[in-house]
Amino acid sequence: MTDFDRLADGPLPRVIVFDLDGTLWNPEMYQLWGGAPFKPHRTDPSIMIDRQGTEVRLIGESRPVLQTLTVDPRWSRTYLALSSTCDVPQWAAELLEKFTFTNREGKEVPMGSLFDDRIEVYKANKAKQHQTILKKVQDIDPTVTEFAQMLFFDNQTDNVHYVSRLGVPSFYCPDGMTPGTFERGLAMWRKAQKSKI
């Protein structure tokens, strides 16, 4: 398990963007036969069950990473966003409503609320989605001025390629947010910042 306390020591991205299918959860929506409606697992808050009994699980460190980024005040200037081209966006929307996390006030809230309105889930080149995300952040915080201030995690090489071309440090994680993935992605982002100096 990653020591998330230690990770906040040093420069931090202003925007962190995550893919959904195969990055934050598995299986991907197109692999589900049942789909919505989803119901929570009886004992594990990181599992939802579709109507055919298939489990959708938050991958590895997805929950502790998102929870830390949400409640730790050292990450308070970092905005979270989603960039996804999942095949059944309405199922993803339901899962974002039903997976729950704890917010800064200690209240249980839907997973989707961690990202505010920075949820881009539709068929499009992810470079376009990142352009939209940056504009949304700039509209509320003009100190976020460039793609280099963002960090992106995705399990598909083509998405990493397209988004990297914008200047967004993009971390390829073929197995999703498994232990250590966030730490390696953050280290890559910090190295990219040093190379600009």
**pLDDT at site 83:** 98
Q: Taking the C-alpha atoms of 173, 176, 181 and 187 in order, what is their torsion angle to the nearest 10 degrees? A: 50
Parallel, antiparallel, or unpaired for β 47-49 and 39-40?
antiparallel
18, 24 contact by CB (below 8 A): yes
In angstroms, how far is the first alpha carbon of the chain from the final one?
32
Task: Give the domains, in start order, of the chain with CATH numbers.
Answer: 15-26+59-195 (3.40.50.1000)
Query: Is the previous residue joined to 11 through a cis bond, with omega within 30 degrees of 0?
Result: no
d(CA 63, CA 101): 8
Q: Which two three-digit tokens encode residue 160?
A: 């990493």
**pLDDT at site 1:** 47
**pLDDT at site 196:** 67
Residue 176: name the closest of 25, 70, 7 by CA: 25
Q: Which two three-digit tokens encode residue 114?
A: 């961690």
Per-residue pLDDT of the chain in tens (197 residues, 90 and over written 9): 467 778 888 999 999 999 999 999 999 898 998 889 999 999 999 999 999 999 999 999 999 999 999 999 999 999 999 999 988 999 999 999 999 999 999 999 999 999 999 999 999 999 999 999 999 999 999 999 999 999 999 999 999 999 999 999 999 999 999 999 999 999 999 999 987 65
85, 20 contact by CB (below 8 A): no
